[in-house]
Structure 1
């Protein structure tokens, strides 16, 4: 497992690293994103315009007072010409919108997995009949507790089409996944793609810049694993992650149920716990085979 970077004396570094030290890590972390953009047909001029505008926006956010956000200062910080900065600053920033299907779907699955009314004694999601008398668990009660804007039948039909649920012999809905997993390429999946990678990168960059306390960012990683061992590690990881996420979700839901409604204006925080698993074939190296070891 890897911890946040430290100096030889064991104390967090002060401030971000120098620009030249970032070039190689940036090249590596951008490669998967660039590969996706190329396959999607996103050309360099379009991407360059996006990055140029974002560079100016983020640089402006780094300046504490509005009076100090002059075109000259932003040009010095970013290397973008003042005429370009003037044009870019006149463009309204895009407000990120959360697709309704994301909010609704994630809340429904979280409640089905985490609330005692929809789980059995061992914490597993109950099979839910389409309808039931008031006070008894049902798919209709699950949906109605989250939204009145869409019929439970429409949600069930959509989830059946996605494979999130199936119907058993008694016409009860059986949850097939331990999380709301959108279909590939949909608006919902792209929302999670941006949010989760943003949060992971935000945590990692804060740690590199010496955040205190450091954000949680650790990994167990091996090189040179034989295929059977790699397959077993993947299976162990998936099972452990499912247990962790279900447990955290269940406890937070219970805390919220026992928490009184806060007064208007009470400060709140956004918390995102994300975990990833990635594996790929290694390029054969011209060296003697070595026993795989964990890397810290």
Structure 2
């Protein structure tokens, strides 16, 4: 088997991409040894799942050749069946769905994108209550449990009329590392998957665009940050409303369902060595 030629630009790109991830690991106590063990599992799992010939599982020897992982380790890791691809957690999916219903579905919103304050109890607000909202999405989860957790995470707040007010236009916890890590896992994975597809696959690329400047003042950056927060959120709300309408109008066969992720991000850092550049827009 002939291995593909390594593009000379790939390793420098990977080195640059890994820097913020290594920064996170060092801040949270993940050592090189621990991450190397994890990376070995991922190499073996991806090779086993995505590099098959004629849809047959590859042998230990072929995985070892593809990955550079010793055959003894390949055999051990496959026997453990670790590193399986994981989707969003149930809490993540439930929370995102619940906020989407609140934002887009009657009687919980004034109009799509304008969520109403909800009476906490169904005994007061009837169907148009937080109890009613949770019951519409799941009969197995108590509304009080969801409310307590969402208050802790800063997703909702209570007013003096015992009504529940949505504090965010998406299920994005402001507190709680585990909850934020679920979004980190989901969003970064899907962004990276789109970028890797565009680098390696033929056919139509996924949409992936960015605008970047390197000679802005801190005042200009603050103004852009506010514009992205306000206007970018409106763009995402519009996509959310369209997705909700399409999901309700064009329900697919259960075996043909697809998921999507649409993202928007903003980042800034000091750039003391920048050379003034009028404007740069790039795409992958």
Range of TM-score over shorter length = 0.7 to 0.9
**Structure 1 unaligned runs (5+)?**
1-15
What is the distance in 2 between the residues matched to 1:230 and 1:168? 34
2:120 maps to 130
Structure 2 length-normalised TM: 0.87
1:67 Cα deviation after fit: 5.1
Report the Cα offset of residue 123 of structure 1: 3.6
- How far apart in 2 are the matches of 1:122 and 1:134? 20
Partners of 1:165 and 1:174 within 8 A in 2? yes
User: Is residue 17–residue 208 contact of structure 1 (8 Å, CA) maintained in 2?
Assistant: no
Whether the 8 Å CA contact 2:154–2:174 is kept in 1: the answer is no
Determine whether 1:42 maps to 2:36: no
Is the CA contact 1:224–1:291 (under 8 Å) kept in the aligned structure 2? Answer: yes
| Residues 1:105 and 2:105 are matched in the alignment | no
Give the C-alpha shift of residue 187 in structure 1: 2.7
Count of matched residue positions in the alignment of Structure 1 and Structure 2: 276
Structure 2: distance between partners of 1:245 and 1:17: 40
How far 1:293 moved relative to its partner?
A: 2.2
Q: Residues 98-247 of structure 1: matches in 2 within 5 Å? A: 98-121=88-111, 123-132=113-122, 136-184=127-175, 186-247=177-238
Q: Report the counterpart of residue 58 of structure 1 in structure 2.
A: 46
Contact 1:113–1:178 (CA under 8 A) maintained in structure 2 = yes
The Cα of 1:291 is off from its aligned counterpart by 6.2
How far the C-alpha of 1:197 sits from its partner, in A, is: 0.8
User: Offset of 1:122 from its aligned partner?
Assistant: 7.0
Q: 1:276 to 1:233 in 2, by over 3 A?
A: same
Checking the alignment, whether the CA contact within 8 Å between 2:120 and 2:164 is kept in structure 1 is yes
Question: Using the alignment, how far apart are the partners of 1:31 and 1:84 within structure 2?
Answer: 27
Does 83-92 or 227-236 show the bigger shift? 83-92
CA–CA distance in 1 between the matches of 2:113 and 2:57? 55
Contact preservation (8 Å) 1:59, 1:78:
yes
More displaced stretch, 111-120 vs 61-70: 61-70
State the shift of 1:29 in Å.
0.3
Q: Which moved more, 1:204-213 or 1:112-121?
A: 112-121
Higher-RCO chain (CA-CA 8 Å, sequence separation at least 6): 1
Q: Quote the offset at 1:278 in angstroms.
A: 1.0
Q: Is the 8 A contact 1:115 1:254 kept in 2?
A: no
What secondary structure is seen at the aligned counterpart in 1 of 2:164? strand
* Distance change >3 Å, CA 108–CA 17, structure 1 → 2: farther
Counterpart for residue 31 of structure 1: 19
Q: CA RMSD in A?
A: 2.5
Residue 279 of structure 1 corresponds to 268
Structure-1 residue corresponding to 2:280:
294
| Distance of aligned partners of 1:119 and 1:65 in 2 relative to their CA distance in 1, 3 Å threshold | same
TM-score normalised per structure 1: 0.83
Measured in 2, the distance between the counterparts of 1:69 and 1:145 equals 45
Mapped to 2, the partners of 1:154 and 1:71 lie a distance apart of 47
C-alpha distance 238-134 of structure 1, shift in aligned 2 (>3 A): closer
Question: Aligned in 2, Cα 1:87/1:65: closer, same or farther, shift over 3 Å?
Answer: farther
Which sections of structure 2, spanning at least 5 residues, go unmatched? none
